[in-house]
Amino acid sequence: MYKLTGVSKTYSNGKKRVDALQEVDLTIDDGQLVAIQGPTGGGKSTLLQMLGALDRPTAGSVLLGDQDLARASAARLTKLRASEVGIVFQGFNLIPTLTAQENVEAALVPLGIRKAQRRERAAAALASVGLADRAAHRPAELSGGQQQRVAIARALVKSPKVLLADEPTGNLDEETRDEIVALLEGLWRDQGLTLVIVTHDSQVASRAQRRLQLTRGKLREAGPGKNAATRPAPAADEATTWSRPAERTAVEPAAVEPAAVEPATVEAVIAEAAPVEPAAAEADGVALSEPVAAEPAAVEAGQETSDND
Ligand SMILES: Nc1ncnc2c1ncn2[C@@H]1O[C@H](COP(=O)(O)OP(=O)(O)O)[C@@H](O)[C@H]1O
Ligand SMILES: [Mg+2]
């Protein structure tokens, strides 16, 4: 899945230089459940941004499959984010004016998926996180745990191979934290996802197969977690989950349907409001050098393609 070699990231703000990552080497196998622990400022979010194609390293290579994210074009990275990587943040980052259903559907807009399909898939994703009965609610009408479930559904609705979660339980009380961790664990086990959870909570990290520690930009193995011996389901390509297998094989866009063809609340709001996947660093109050824009990227193979033709 991932192979990082000699990954360093240096931030320079005027005279000040911060070595956020220092020659990190890391291999993550397909379907692995990995926890990354470490103190605040240790480089966890920076590492997740490299894995999530949100930013590029200063040095080194970040292979996702056979693609080097350190060298890929901005357009390629945008496409990868839209289709292959799901990201969940501590701060949920839901669009307040959209319902839960619309927030989840929004993740499919850059893929050029038609409205009927978006509706169906968003409803299925919400059901998979136990929120079928809250689809019509806006974020303000949901509890913190429910908002995080919506954010997880939004990350999963595009059927990514990888789910990256940055402090997904950081804003939650203990009971809700345990629910969210159990949910993520269940999704990992049943859907054959590769799941990387960044956390400073050792209770959360203990659920992983493998634990890593990141301190002052240096990464080291920190031993197995409780799920070390768990064998998850095969990747969703083969499994009969709600995620649809066809899109795993989708590579090049046949034709991108402009969002304007289907004027609807989701597109309208996205056009003038927040990006679908706000930069990871925003949760920490820092701006990224390369903002993440929602742009039409790829059209899936299968049913939608024939719809669009
Ligand atoms: N965009 C940025 N510009 C400048 N410095 C940054 C930026 N993002 C992170 N840093 C710095 O890099 C270091 C690692 O930050 P981060 O990856 O957010 O750590 P963690 O997620 O472990 O708390 C910190 O010293 C932080 O201040
Ligand atoms: Mg962080």
Please name which of 56, 58, 69 lies closest in space to residue 1, comparing C-alpha atoms: 69
217 lines ligand 1 (CB under 6 A): no
Q: How far is the CA of 24 from the centre of ligand 2 (A)?
A: 17
Long-range contacts of 139-143 (CB under 8 A, 24+ apart): 139/92, 139/94, 139/95, 139/96, 139/100, 139/103, 140/96, 142/100, 143/176
8 lines ligand 1 (CB under 6 A): no
C-alpha distances in angstroms, 45 versus 49, 117, 164?
6, 33, 10
Over residues 117-163, the pLDDT tens digits come to 999 999 999 999 999 999 999 999 999 999 999 999 999 999 999 99
Return mean pLDDT, the chain.
Answer: 82
SS3 20: strand
- Atom nearest to 47 CA in ligand 1: 17
Q: Give dist(CA 9, CA 56) in Å, integer.
A: 8
C-alpha distances in angstroms, 172 versus 137, 139, 156, 202, 309?
20, 15, 20, 15, 45
Least confident of 58-67, 216-225, 234-243: 234-243
Q: Tokens 């200063």 belong to which residue?
A: 58
Q: Which ligand is nearest to the CA of 9?
A: 1
pTM given for the model: 0.79
pLDDT greater at residue 83 or residue 284: 83
User: Which of 37, 46, 51, 58 should be mutated for ligand 1, with most atoms under 8 A from CB?
Assistant: 46
306 lines ligand 1 (CB under 6 A): no
Please name which of 37, 43, 66, 38 lies closest in space to residue 55, comparing C-alpha atoms: 43
Q: 68 with 76: CB under 8 angstroms?
A: no
Whether 303 shows a pLDDT value over 60: the answer reads no
Residue nearest to atom 26 of ligand 1 (CA): 41
Enumerate the domain spans of the chain: 29-52+79-208+223-302
CATH numeric code, 29-52+79-208+223-302: 3.40.50.300
190 by Cβ neighbours in 10 Å (0-12 / 13-18 / 19+) ranks as middle
Whether 247 shows a pLDDT value over 70: the answer reads no
Q: What is the DSSP letter of 140?
A: G
199 lines ligand 1 (CB under 6 A): no
Report the pLDDT value the prediction gives residue 183, as an integer from 0 to 100: 95
Report the pLDDT value the prediction gives residue 230, as an integer from 0 to 100: 87
182 lines ligand 1 (CB under 6 A): no
| Mean pLDDT in residue range 160-186 | 94
User: CA Rg, the chain, in Å?
Assistant: 18
